[in-house]
Chains A and B, each alone.
Chain A
Amino acid sequence: MVNVLTGLGAVVTPSALLWNLIGVVIGIVFGALPGLTATQAVAIFTPLTFVMPFTISMSFLLGIYCGGYYGGAITAILLRTPGAPGNAATCMDGYPMAQKGQAGKALAIAVMASWLGGELSALALMVGAPALSLIALRFGPPEYFAIGLLGLVCVAGISEGNILKGVAGGLAGMLLATIGMDPISGRPRFTLGIQGLMAGVALIPALVGLFAITEVLAKAEQMELGKKDQLITEYDIALPTKREWWESRWTLLKGTIIGVIVGVLPGTGPTIASWMSYQEAKRSSKHPELFGTGITEGVMATEVANNAVTGGALIPLLTLGVPGDSVTAVLLGSLMIQGLTPGPLLIRNNPALVSQLFWILIIANAFMLAIGLGAARAFPQILRIPMRILLPIICVLCIVGSYAVNNSLFDVWMVVLIGFVGFVASKFGFQVAPIVLGFILGPIIEPNFRRALITSGGSPLVFVTRPFSLGILILAGLLLAFILYRQRSGGVAGEAVKEPDMA
Chain B
Amino acid sequence: MNDRDIVGGLAVLVISVVGLVASMRVPSETTTQFGGGFYPGFLSVCLGVCGLIILVEGVLKREKVPVPKFEWGKVLPVLGSLVLYCLLFPILDFRIVTAIFLAICMFAFGVRRPLQLMAVAIGGSLVVFYVFTLGFNVVLN
Q: Could you tell me which A residues sit within 8 Å of B by CB distance?
A: 29-30, 36, 40, 44, 162, 164-165, 167-168, 171-172, 174-175, 178, 182, 184-185, 187, 189-190, 213, 216-217, 220-221, 223, 225-226, 387-389, 391-393, 395-397, 399-400, 403-404, 407, 409, 412-413, 416, 420, 423, 427-430, 446, 449-450, 453-454, 458
A225 near B109 (CB under 8 angstroms)? yes
Task: List 18 additional A-B contacts (Cβ < 8 Å) besides A175-B19, A395-B85.
Answer: A165-B8, A171-B46, A172-B12, A175-B44, A178-B43, A187-B27, A213-B82, A221-B71, A221-B74, A223-B74, A388-B109, A391-B105, A392-B120, A395-B105, A396-B98, A400-B138, A416-B82, A428-B11
Can you offer 24 A-B residue contacts whose CB atoms are under 8 A?
A: A162-B54, A167-B50, A171-B46, A175-B15, A175-B43, A187-B27, A216-B78, A220-B109, A223-B109, A391-B78, A393-B120, A395-B78, A395-B85, A396-B102, A396-B124, A400-B140, A403-B89, A412-B86, A427-B68, A428-B5, A428-B8, A429-B4, A449-B39, A450-B34
Given known contacts A185-B35, A404-B136, A392 and B70 CB-to-CB distance under 8 angstroms: no
B19 to chain A, nearest CB (A): 5
Query: A168-B47, A189-B26 in contact; A178/B39 too (CB < 8 A)?
Result: yes
Bound Cα distance from A458 to B32, whole angstroms: 9
How would you classify the secondary structure of chain B's contact residues: helix, strand, loop or mixed? helix
Q: Which 9 A-B pairs have the closest CB atoms?
A: A388-B109, A392-B105, A182-B36, A428-B8, A168-B50, A225-B110, A427-B68, A178-B40, A404-B138
Tell whether A392 pairs with B101 under 8 Å between CB atoms, given A217-B79, A223-B74, A400-B140.
yes
Q: Give a binary string over B4-20; 1 marks a CB under 8 Å from any A CB, 0 the rest.
A: 11011001100100010
List the A side residues contacting B77 at CB < 8 Å: 220
In the complex formed, the residue of B with least CB distance to A221 is B71
Measured CB to CB, the closest approach of chain B to A439, in angstroms, equals: 12
Residue of A nearest to B5 (CB): A429
Q: B68, B71, B101, B110: which contacts A396 (Cβ < 8 A)?
A: B101
Type the 1/0 row for B65-89, where 1 means its CB is closer than 8 Å to any CB of A.
0001011001101110111011001
- In the bound complex, do residue A409 and residue B39 qualify as a contact, i.e. CB atoms below 8 Å apart? no
**Chain A residues whose C-beta falls within 8 Å of the C-beta of B79 in the assembled complex:** 217, 416, 420
* B48 nearest CB across to chain A (Å): 9
Taking a contact as CB atoms under 8 Å apart, the answer to whether A221 and B75 are in contact is yes
Interface Cβ pair total, 8 Å cutoff: 159
Q: Give B53's nearest chain A residue, CB to CB.
A: A164
- Docked complex Cα distance between A490 and B53 (Å): 21
Question: A-side binding surface: helix, strand, loop or mixed?
Answer: helix
Q: Do B101 and A217 touch across chains, with their CB atoms under 8 A apart?
A: no
Interfacial residues, chain B to chain A (CB-CB below 8 A): 4-5, 7-8, 11-12, 15, 19, 22, 26-27, 29, 32-40, 43-44, 46-47, 50-51, 53-54, 57, 68, 70-71, 74-75, 77-79, 81-83, 85-86, 89-90, 98, 101-102, 105-106, 109-111, 116, 120, 124-125, 128, 132, 135-140
B78, A412: Cβ atoms closer than 8 Å:
no
- How far is the CB of A495 from the nearest CB of chain B, in Å? 9
A296 vs B111: C-alpha distance in the bound complex, in angstroms?
A: 36
Contacting pair A164 B54 (CB below 8 A) = yes
